Amino acid sequence: MMMVCGVSCDHRREDSIRIDIDSVIKGFRPQVFPSQYSVKFTPVLEQATHGDAPTSRKVLSITVHTPTDRHQGLYATPHGEVFVRRDGSVEELTASGVQEWCKRNYQKDLQVLQNREQQLLKELQEKEHRLQDKEQQSLMELQDKDTSTHVLQNREHQLLQELQDREQQLLRELQDKEHRLKEAEKKLASKSKVCVIL
């Protein structure tokens, strides 16, 4: 049997501990953003005749996790001060904090684009395979029907042309995605340069 003791903690002490934890986490580098950790006070229950009853003792748990809010925005004043929301309040970010925020969001967007690129390449290969199968099937059907060599060559040429046209189309789509990816990288790189000035 395991016994949990906890610590005596009222609401005022909870607030004080939260502030202390927040001030320590703000000193971390790279910066830990508000969405990456949580502080929880769980009351310790005591056995009573009519069930478990809460006590004034609590167990403190601090959970640090991977950021999930990729749309958490930055806010700037006309004087160039940059802020981020932090559990009902706001916190001013340093230049390194802004850089870290931009870097994390850039990496997420880059990963999404890379995944999409891989998906498009896979689709291209599958479509090429299907077109080749279709071409072979059509050729076999034409041979089975003893059609003329001229018709067979025309059909083969047509299927090859369709394959080449489709390949060109998919390659254009892929190049377009790569172009947009490079544009996104340039924009994020320029944002990082602006962040350094802050």
Same domain, 107 and 189: yes
Same domain, 59 and 135: no
Residue 73 inside a domain? The answer is no
Same domain, 59 and 111: no
Residue 24 inside a domain? The answer is yes
Residue 138 inside a domain? The answer is yes
Helix (H) or strand (E) holding 91: strand 89-93
Residue 184 inside a domain? The answer is yes
Residue 88 inside a domain? The answer is no
Same domain, 63 and 119: no
Residue 84 inside a domain? The answer is no
Same domain, 105 and 192: yes
Closest CA to 15 of 63, 55, 60: 60
Residue 193 inside a domain? The answer is yes
Residue 81 inside a domain? The answer is no
User: What integer pLDDT is reported at residue 196 of this predicted model?
Assistant: 47
Averaged pLDDT, 67-74:
59
Q: How many domains does the chain have?
A: 2
Over residues 109-138, the pLDDT tens digits come to 888 888 889 999 999 999 999 999 888 888
Q: Is the peptide bond before 43 cis (omega within 30 degrees of 0)?
A: no
Q: Which domain holds residue 28?
A: 1-67
Over residues 173-193, the pLDDT tens digits come to 888 888 888 887 777 767 655
The pair of three-digit structure tokens given for residue 179, joined into one six-digit string:
């172009």
Residue 78 has pLDDT above 70, yes or no: no
Instruction: Please report which confidence band the pLDDT of residue 156 belongs to, taking 50, 70 and 90 as the band edges.
Output: confident
Over residues 25-57, the pLDDT tens digits come to 877 655 777 778 888 988 888 776 566 666 778
Closest CA to 20 of 42, 39, 3, 33: 39
